[in-house]
Structure 1
Amino acid sequence: MQFTTERRLDDGVLEREFTLGEIPGTLWTPGSTPAPLVLMAHNNGLPKADPRLVARAGYTAGRGYAVATIDAAGCGDRPRSAAAEQARADLRRAMRAGEPVDEMLESFVGPLVENAVPEWQTTLDALLELPEIDGRVGYSGGWTALGIRLAVAEPRIAAAGFFAGGYVPRAQREEARQVTIPLLFLLQWDDEGNPRQRALDLFDAFGSKEKTLHANLGGHTGTPSFELEDGCRFLDRHLK
């Protein structure tokens, strides 16, 4: 792992970009370390520099956590294949036309998840060798499909917070039954791109004995800011 940039934020959080082979990422660490680690991914591989992810990461680091995110293959500054770009274009066209897109999402998101999981595990291996990281590991993010797959495949993850705002392939909906760690699930009640009943069915499918659903009125990007604080309290209970 090689750190390439470094800057100190106003609240004492240190933000550093890194590369790990071909994987670019960002690590935020609090002023007081060592700290528990939170892996934070954005919806279906959106870039790590997305303002909403950066805001959540900075806030969480300010609450005493090391927070890491990486760009999925074909996202952010990583090279994009012609096939993936065509799939994105076809998906955008279908959504604008109001056509059914579930099968398109299935064929697009499924491979993204399968490709991303090994990279996240490689990143986790490297992060846990750093002296500023110590303690348990959590997952937080809008890429619920990735979080489900990691929670099943990676025993080092002790708790997870999911946003019910992205498409979850059928394989991960089935795997949800194998998720047994404590879980916080955020649902926007009026999310135009995420059928409410499908999100409720997913919550019901999780095998966790401790799982909490927070539902708020509003569309896809309308998650209330107080959920950041509630999310950190959830992490406090299980990672500290």
Structure 2
Amino acid sequence: MNTIKERLEAEVVLRNCADELCEDKPDPLMVARYWGDECSALTCALFAYGNVKAIISLLQSLDMRIIDHNESTIQEVLHNKYYRFQNSEDIIQWFITLKRLKELGGVEKHFAHGYQKGGVIEGINSLIETLYELNPYRSSGYTFLIGKPITKNSSAMKRWMMYLRWMVRYDHLDMGLWKVMSPRELIMPLDTHTFNVSKRLGLLHRKQCDLKAAVELTNALKKFDPDDPIKYDFALYRLGQEKRLEG
């Protein structure tokens, strides 16, 4: 296990630099960092599914400042935008919802409402519920984008957990815009790459890539660094993405 820790620590040092976020190594975080605010970052995180080049293409085509305009302008500017499960109306309504959230104090404020009552899961649920309350619009694409409140049998909620990582941690990768919680409370943003690499390293034994697996992996990584277990996320992800894991 010490050998695994040493390898991951070395990968963390290697990855913790601006060069990891560039056109040659595209990641939604590079667009989030370009805009540098919590609302733009939430858009980048929630659209972070599918082919990474397609994700970046969409995100770079969006002027995130649109939420500071009126709703009719949002509809006019975004009428021809779409991405996989989201048609143009889904994207328009998402930006309208985000505009309303910003006007009510922003993302961290509404996360904090739930977090202060029951921790990270309640914080995410509070945000999801607020987003749905702010806009009655519904479609399959819109609901997929935001997701459903977390239950004990939920998926890994990778996009939401990744967003929290960006907001709470601070280094050359993560933005550290929030003060509401500590990095020690984060849960691993578990995707297929991270899941497979972690199983291969013996850090994870659960067979299903779900929230329980994300918590199991987080607890394993706390043995390496109890104050910042999710610092290993990007390293594990890149090891899987680049197929660099041997043995």
Same fold (TM over 0.5): no
Q: Of Structure 1 and Structure 2, which has the larger fraction of its residues in helix? A: 2
**Structure with a larger share of its residues in strand:** 1
Q: State TM-score, norm by structure 2.
A: 0.29
TM value normalised by structure 1 = 0.30
